[in-house]
Amino acid sequence: MAACSFRRSIASQLSRVLDLPPENLIKSISAVPVSKKRHVADFQLSIASVTEDSSNNFLPQDLPLQAQKLAERLKCDAVVSEISAGPGTVNFTINRELLAKTVLQQVLKDGSEYGVKSELFSTAPRQKAVIEFSSPNIAKKFHIGHLRSTIVGNFIANLKVALGHEVTRINYLGDWGMQFGLLGVGFQRFGNKEKLKSSPLQHLFEVYVQINKAAEDENTKELAKDFFRKLEEHDEQTLSLWKQFRDLSIEEYIRIYKRLGVHFDEYSGESFYQEKSREVLKMLEDKGLLQKTGKGTGIVDLSENKDLSSFSTVMRSDGTSLYITRDLAAAIDRMEKHSWDTMIYVTDRSQSNHFQHLFQILKLMGYEWAGRCQHVSFGLVRGMRTRRGEVVFLEDVLNEVRSRMLQNMASAKTTKETEDPVETAEKVGLAALIIQDFRGLLSSDYQFSWDRALQSRGDTGVFLQYTHARLHSLEQMHGKEQLTDINVTRLQEPDAISVLQHLLRYDEVLYKSSQDLQPKHIVSYLLTLSHLAAVAHKTLPVKGSPPEVAQARLCLFQAARSVLANGMKLLGITPVTHM
């Protein structure tokens, strides 16, 4: 990684002067974000983070002076062409030609691995991660929360895979419970085998809505209970109908997820953990953790002082399991099956309490690995509606974004005729949805707006796609040959330097996202990259420039496009080449 060699070079000089091992210094040296104030340095060392390492404790007001003193003791060399002191930082400017040469060579050599190979990740052990996300309920709405879970989980999985970890993607379906009693009775009454085969998600949803209206009636309630009891007793006919519901739904989900660019390694579900949740209840009883209430329900006391000020209900009065009991069984089962290092659940924050309880109970049961479970929660999306009204099916959202994007593309003057406008519209539209969702902190709620998401200017997914397509057609027009011996002295304009400085920061941005699992760092990095590339595209023409200059610029744009595409793919966006 280009940034690594520069960081290491700066660290080795600092280590001689400060008498600290260079390893301790590398994390304190960071690339400087590009700003409107041109001619900023490339790297800065934060004095505060170095003084923490050494025994001399400075007061904050001494930091500028310390920075000044340290800067005076350092010398420029073949790598560093300028050293200056800031308020509490020492700033380093890399030799401009070396900067251009190193960055461009590295980006074009590493390709899709640029940034991921950085030594920032070298101490992180390769891990096995299990990620549970999306997890809709069969026969119920696929609401916007499921969509968020799907794209966030996909991002986390993509990032971990890119960083060399082994990832298992699990979709934990709501495929069991009392509602299947109702659904079974509903299907016997209103169901249609043909419709079930052709559009299972929609048909089961309609049946469920119809039977719910009839469910006030005592007779229907009894029949539903009866159907579910048969299901639990593994009655063949009942089970085969349920299995059809499940299998056909999954088949359709796979097709729709494919449109989203998402796949799963495992379609699990609550139904897998019927027997196992009974075993969990027995374990809780054997460990003395299961208490019975006056009503006969089973609870686990989670309070510090064992005064039931906080508890979790794990068993109904009739002895059957609850959602949390099945979650306990699933966690234990996944550990046995995958022996993971970390397990991540991606759901909206209304389930925070549920997961706190889940992890606490596992800890009480003596599973030390409970500490390696993590709940990545996200806020609510308000105001997402399609022309058909509120979102009921994931496919409605995909169709809506595609048709709106097709309309925009048809009315835009800049749009060239693309071979497959429908597919392009879908990929661009998805980029728009994902960027609008990932721009802020995941935990914050946001107001959804089609108009804002689909704008072609400004900080949107459409703008990212547009930039990628433009840079791609520039390469097509001026030859794609791998540029090896370019003359880097031709890339000294401020707009070129800004792009190079920004490319230098990519590994730090990936590192940040890998630490807190927030996509927003990568999103803002890519938006800035696109803005910088757009400016450079205007001021540094390839066409009509002398061959040497044209080649150097082409190489710069190729590097920018490569990193833009890498980042987009991590976010779950497929970059388009024509728009």
Predicted confidence (pLDDT) per residue in 106-128, tens digit: 999 999 999 998 988 988 889 99
- The token duo for 57 is 């404790």
Question: For the residues of 193-260, what is the DSSP string, one character each?
Answer: HHHHHH-HHHHHHHHHHHHHHHTTSHHHHHHHHHHHHHHHTT-HHHHHHHHHHHHHHHHHHHHHHHHH
Which of 201-205, 220-224, 261-265, 378-382 shows the highest mean pLDDT?
A: 261-265
Q: Active-site positions? A: 140, 143, 146
Predicted confidence (pLDDT) per residue in 244-256, tens digit: 999 999 999 999 9
Closest-CA residue to 38 (of 458, 501, 489, 488): 501
pLDDT, residue 182, reads 93
pLDDT at 563 over 90: yes
Contact (CB, 8 A) for 27 and 87: no
pLDDT, residue 413, reads 60
pLDDT at 341 over 90: yes
Domain 2-94 has CATH 3.40.50.300: no
Collect all residues with Cβ–Cβ distance below 8 Å to 394 and sequence separation of at least 6. 136, 142, 146, 147, 150, 256, 260
Report which of residues 479 and 337 the model is more confident about: 337
Q: Identify the three-state secondary structure at position 89.
A: strand
pLDDT at 266 over 90: yes
pLDDT at 265 over 60: yes
Task: State the architecture of 432-571 in CATH terms.
Answer: Orthogonal Bundle (1.10)
Nearest 5°: phi and psi at 286?
-60, -35
Alpha-carbon gap, residue 117 to 219, rounded angstroms: 64
pLDDT at 484 over 80: no
pLDDT at 412 over 80: no
Minimum mean pLDDT among 220-234, 275-289, 431-445: which range? 220-234
Report which of residues 436 and 141 the model is more confident about: 436
pLDDT, residue 101, reads 94
Contact (CB, 8 A) for 276 and 283: no
Question: For the residues of 162-204, what is the DSSP string, one character each?
Answer: HTT-EEEEEEEEB--STHHHHHHHHHHHH--HHHHHH-HHHHH
Predicted confidence (pLDDT) per residue in 303-319, tens digit: 988 888 999 999 988 88
- CA 55 vs CA 2, 50, 51, 52, 71: distances in Å: 32, 10, 7, 7, 20
pLDDT band for position 178 (cuts 50, 70, 90)? confident
Minimum mean pLDDT among 131-135, 260-264, 542-546: which range? 542-546
Partners of 86 in the β-ladder: 89
pLDDT, residue 416, reads 62
Alpha-carbon gap, residue 303 to 312, rounded angstroms: 10
| pLDDT, mean of residues 13-41 | 86
pLDDT, residue 54, reads 54
pLDDT, residue 122, reads 85
Closest-CA residue to 443 (of 360, 520, 342): 520
Q: Pairing state of beta strands 80-86 and 389-390?
A: unpaired
Closest-CA residue to 533 (of 508, 509, 501, 576): 501
| pLDDT, mean of residues 335-342 | 98
For all residues of the chain together, what is the average pLDDT? 91
Alpha-carbon gap, residue 244 to 383, rounded angstroms: 34
pLDDT band for position 27 (cuts 50, 70, 90)? confident
pLDDT band for position 391 (cuts 50, 70, 90)? confident
CATH 3.30.1360.70 in the chain, residue ranges: 2-94
- The token duo for 300 is 């686990």
- The token duo for 168 is 């298992």
| pLDDT, mean of residues 39-53 | 82
Please work out, in degrees rounded to the nearest 5, the angle formed at the alpha carbon of residue 449 by the alpha carbons of 443 and 451: 145
Report which of residues 232 and 61 the model is more confident about: 232
pLDDT at 510 over 90: yes
Alpha-carbon gap, residue 564 to 468, rounded angstroms: 7
Alpha-carbon gap, residue 576 to 230, rounded angstroms: 51
pLDDT, residue 495, reads 95
pLDDT at 58 over 60: no
Predicted confidence (pLDDT) per residue in 61-116, tens digit: 688 888 999 999 999 999 999 999 988 899 999 999 999 999 999 999 999 999 99
- Whole-prediction pTM value? 0.94
pLDDT, residue 59, reads 62
pLDDT band for position 390 (cuts 50, 70, 90)? confident
